[in-house]
Amino acid sequence: MASQHHPQDTGPALEAKDRGLAGMQERTSRLQQELDQEKLERTQENQKYHAAQRSWTEELDRAKMAVHKLSARNEKLKTACENMQEDMNAASERHEFMMFQQDSLGSRLRESEEERQRLQALTVVLRGMVTKNSEPDGERMDDNAIVGKFIKLREQVQRIASKLCFSEGNGNAVLTQEMSDAQRDFEYWKGLSQAQLLNRIRTNIFELIHSEILGRPLFGLEGLQDTSGLEHGLSKFETALNNLNPGHKAAVLEWRVRTVRCASLLNIDNPRAEEVAKYIHEFMKPLITSDALDTQLRTLILKLCNDSMSFALLLRSFKDLYRCEMPDIHSPLNDDSEEQCPEPYRNGDPHAEGDVAFVLAGSLVKYPELHPERRLVLEKAHVVVFKKTE
C-alpha cells in the first residue's frame, strides 16, 4: 500500500533534521578543532624531537671527536710510557753499572791508599837506612826513630787530656757546677760532650808545648848561671843569620849544630821545661778536683815538657831541618793532615764544612840539608774537622 504524505508533518520533520544536521556539524567542527589541535601538538612535538635529535647528533659528533682526540692522546701517552719505560730500564742498567764501577773504584782506591801508605812507610825506612849508612859520624839520625819519639809526645798529651776528661769527678762535671773566677775561662766549654771536651784539652796542651818548646829556636842554655839573656840572644842571632844571603846557609847550619851540641856538653838543668809544666798545670787546674789526680797530672805534665825539650834539642843538633808545623785553623783539610774525629757544623756557622776545627797535634816535617827546598812530611798532623749535623 502506497505511503501517504501529510503536509502538516513536513515542517517539524525538517526542523528536526536541521537540528540534527546542525548538531552533527557542531560535533564535526569540534572534532576538527580537536584534530587540528592534536595535529598542532604532534607537529610541535615532532619539531621538538627533531631539534633534540639534531642536538643529540651534534653532542654525539662532539663526543666522537673528543673520543678521537683522547684516543690519539692515549696512543701518544702509551708510546711515551713505553719510551719512558725503556729509558728507565736503560737508566737502571746504567745505575747498576755505575754502582759496580763505584764499588770497583772504591776497592781500587782502598788498594791505592794501602799501597801509598806502604810506600810511604817504605820510603821512611829506606830514607832512614840511606841517611844512617851515609853518615857514619852520626851527623844524622834514622827518621823512624825521630818519628817514634814524636808519636810518644803526642800520646803523652792524649794521656794527660784523658786523665783530665774521664777521671771521676773531673772534666765536664766540673763545668756544670757554679764556677769560680779561675774557671771562667772554661765557661764556653759548658755543655760539650766528653769527646768535644777531650779534643779541646788536647788542642790546648799541644799548642802550649808547640809555642813554648817545639816551635822555638832553642839552644839549651837557659839554666847557665851568670849568662842572663844568652839563650834569647843566640836565638835572635840565628834569626839574623837565616835572613842573610842563602849562600851562607851551610855555614849557619854548621854553627847552629855545633852550638847546640857544645851546649849539651855542659849538661845544664834547663828551667824551661819546669816553667812550661807549671804554666800548663795552672791553665788546666780549674778542671781538677782531686788531690790524687793533681799529683799524677803534675808528674805527667813535667815528663811531657822534659821529653819535649829533649826532643826539640835533638832535632836542632842535626843539619837536616826538622819542624813541627801546625795547620791553620779553619783552613781546608789537606794531605798534610789526618782527620781524627768530626766537630759538629751547622749551616750559617762562620766556617766551611770540611775545614780544620782544632789541631790535636802538629805535623813533623823534614827539610833535608842537601835539598832544603824539599818538604818531607814524616808524620801527618792530627786534626778535628767540621762536619755537618742534622
Mean pLDDT, residues 286-300 taken together: 88
**What confidence category does residue 348 fall into, taking pLDDT thresholds of 50, 70 and 90?**
low
Supply the pLDDT for residue 175: 54
Q: Look up residue 355 and give its DSSP letter.
A: B
Those residues whose C-beta lies under 8 Å from the C-beta of residue 1, and which sit 6 or more positions away, are none
Sheet holding 363-367, edge to edge: 321-325, 363-367, 376-379
Tell how strand 356-361 and strand 363-367 pair up: unpaired
CB 206 within 8 Å of CB 360: yes
Q: What share of the chain is helix, strand, coil (3-state, %, to 5)?
A: 65, 10, 25
Within-domain flag for 379? yes
In a domain, 341, yes or no: yes
Domain housing 352:
321-389
**Residue 308: inside a domain, yes or no?**
no
Task: Indicate whether 111 belongs to any domain.
Answer: no
Distance CA 276, CA 28 (A): 141
- Residue 358 covered by a domain: yes
Residue 70, strand partner residues: none
- As a whole number of angstroms, the distance between CA 154 and CA 3 comes to 165
Higher pLDDT, 302 or 1: 302
Q: Is 312 exposed, middle or buried (0-12, 13-18, 19+ CB in 10 A)?
A: buried
Contact 204, 283 (CB under 8 A): yes
Residue 108 lies in a domain: no
The percentage of the chain sitting over the pLDDT mark of 90, rounded to a whole number, equals 25
Report the helix count and the strand count for the chain, using DSSP H and E. 8, 6
Residue 356 sits in a domain of what CATH number? 2.30.22
Query: Is the model's pLDDT at 302 over the cut of 80?
Result: yes
Grid cell 782502598 in the structure block, residue: 110
- DSSP assignment of 357-377 equals EEEEE-EEEEE-SS-TT--EE
Which residues, in sequence order, are bridge partners of residue 385?
Answer: 342, 356
Instruction: Tell me whether residue 46 is in a domain.
Output: no
pLDDT digits (tens, 9 = 90+) for 74-96: 888 888 898 989 888 888 888 88
**Type of residue found at 343:** E
In a domain, 167, yes or no: no
How many separate domains does the chain show?
1
The model scores a pTM over 0.95: no
Mean predicted lDDT score pLDDT of the chain: 82
Closest CA to 384 of 320, 346, 322, 337: 337
